[in-house]
Amino acid sequence: MDFGRPRDPRIDAAVLSATVELLAETGYAGLLVSAIADRAGTSKPAIYRRWPSKAHLVHEAVFPIGAATQLPDTGSLPEDLREMVRRSMAFLTTPAARAALPGLVGEMAADPTLHSALLERFAGVIGGGLAQLLARAAGRGEVRPDVTAAELTEAIAGITLMGLLTRVSELDDAWVDRTTTLLLKGISA
C-alpha cells in the first residue's frame, strides 16, 4: 500500500527526458541531479524520491523498461542470432548510452542492485524468450544443448561493449554480420 501523494507521471517523464538531454551535453561525469531538476522543472528531493541515485536514474532514462521485446523466432539460428547482435548494437550505441556507459559500468561494481537491474534490462532487450529459442534451435541440431541464454547474452553484451570501446569506426551492419559469424562458430552443434 502506498502512502502520500501518488507520483505524477509527467514529472517522471520530464526528469527522464532531461536526463537524456543533459547526458548528451555533459557526459555522465558532468551530469548533476540539480541540473536535471532545473531542466525538468522539479526539485532534487522529488528526483531522489523516485530514484535512489544518479546511476539508477540514468539507467532508467537511457535503457527504458519498455525496450524489452520478444525475439522473433525465424526458425533459423543464424537469423535469430543476427537479430540479437543487431539489437545489442542498437541498444548500446545511442548517444545517451554512449555517454552513460562509462559511468554506469564503474558504478555497477559498487552497487549490486544497479548491476542486477542493468543485466536484467539488457537481457530483456536482446533476448526476450532466448532460452526457448535456444531450446528449439538445439532441437533442430543448430546449437549445442549446453549453450545457455545467460551465457549467450553475456557474450553478445561483452563483444558489443568491447567493440564500442576499442573500435575507431562506428559499429555497422558489416560488424553485425562478422560478429554473428564468430558467435555461431562458438555455439553451433
Secondary structure (3-state) at 136: helix
Residues 66, 58 contacting (CB under 8 angstroms): no
For residues 58 and 104, the answer to whether their CB atoms sit within 8 Å is yes
Amino acid at position 183, single letter = L
- Mean pLDDT within 161-179: 90
Mean pLDDT of 151-167: 88
Q: Give the pLDDT mean for 103-109.
A: 87
Q: What is the CATH number of domain 9-61?
A: 1.10.10.60
Provide the whole-model pTM: 0.78
Average pLDDT over the chain, rounded to an integer: 88
Burial class from Cβ neighbours inside 10 Å (0-12, 13-18, 19+) for residue 80 reads buried
Contact assessment for residue 59 and residue 117, using Cβ atoms and an 8 Å cutoff: yes
Residue 66's pLDDT is 63
- Residue 133 — φ and ψ, nearest 5°? -60, -45
Give the percent of the chain with pLDDT over 70.
92
Please state the domain extents for the chain.
9-61, 64-187
Tens digits of per-residue pLDDT, 32-57? Answer: 999 999 999 999 999 999 999 999 99
Reported as a pLDDT band with limits 50, 70 and 90, residue 1 is very low
CA distance 161 to 180: 15
Location of C-alpha cell 567493440: 163
Neighbours of 1 (CB within 10 A): 2
Q: Give the domain 64-187 fold.
A: Tetracycline Repressor; domain 2 (1.10.357)
Burial 87-120 (b: 16+ CB within 10 A, else e): bbbbbbbeebbbbbbebbeebbeebeebeebbee
Q: What is the mean pLDDT of residues 133-139?
A: 91
